[in-house]
Amino acid sequence: MTYEILLAGFGGQGILFAGKLLAYCALFEGKEISWLPSYGPEMRGGKCNCSVTISDEPIGSPQVLEPDLLVVLNGPSFDAFMGNVKPGGKAFVDSSMVAQKTDRTDIETFYVPATQLADDNNLAKGANIVLLGKLLHETGIFSFETVRKALEKNTPAKRAHTIDNNMRALQLGADYAG
């Protein structure tokens, strides 16, 4: 089993963090993993994407160019990457940020108004986690308990209160039927 996952959006949308959570989940389950950020000189607001490969085999190239699973949080990323999803793959789109729709029928696309859902539930900046919740719900690659462990590992003590918020965001995504 190999999952090649690409997460993309603007800097500051928590792209790398969401990718990191997936990577940690895989670590807890003893998988081979590579997590690779694209990096730019702009600290915030630049183009940002993150390649995560999870596999039972040693991983070759860590760059995910043709993802099995794509998570997009902005329009430019949608335009750039929707065409690259492997046939049979799945795409998770923040429809509050992306107006476009794909005409591809060989992939499954889930439009989730993640930013809107997060804002409506006092979970500002939680769109990344909402989409992650949808991804986990649709693929079942990791359980929510595993994600909680990953959150605990990646949340500094002084921000521990955000763990429950993130779990709520995860559930919102999972429950969204759109």
Partner 1 sequence: MEKVLMKGNEALAEAAIRAGCKCFFGYPITPQTELSEYLAKQMPKRGGVFLQAESEVAAINMVLGAAGTGTRVMTSSSSPGISLKSEGISYIAGSDVPCLIVNVERGGPGLGSIQPSQQDYWQATKGLGHGDFHLIILAPNSVQEVVNLVTKAFDLGEKYRMPVMLLSDGLLGQMMEPVEFPEITPSQADNSAWAACGTKMEREHHIVNSLYIEALDLEEQVKRRYERYAKIEETEAMAETYLCEDADIIVTAFGATSRVAKSAVNKARAEGIKAGLFRPITLWPFPKAELNAACKNAKAVLSVEMNMGQMIDDVKLALDCRLPVSFFGRTGGVVPSPKEVLEELRKLNGGAQ
* Chain contacts with partner 1 (rule: CB under 8 A): 20, 23-24, 27, 32-37, 39-41, 59-63, 65
Given the complex with partner 1, which of 31 and 134 has the nearer CB atom? Answer: 31
**Nearest approach, Cβ of residue 42 and partner 1 (Å):** 11
DSSP string spanning 35-92? EEE---S-SSSSEEEEEEEEESS--S----SS-SEEEE-SHHHHHHHGGGSPTT-EEE
Given the complex with partner 1, which of 43 and 99 has the nearer CB atom? Answer: 43
Given the complex with partner 1, which of 52 and 112 has the nearer CB atom? Answer: 52
**Nearest approach, Cβ of residue 117 and partner 1 (Å):** 29
**Nearest approach, Cβ of residue 63 and partner 1 (Å):** 6
> Each residue of 22-55: b (16+ CB within 10 Å) or e?
bbbbbbeeebebbbbebeeeeeeeebbbbbbbbb
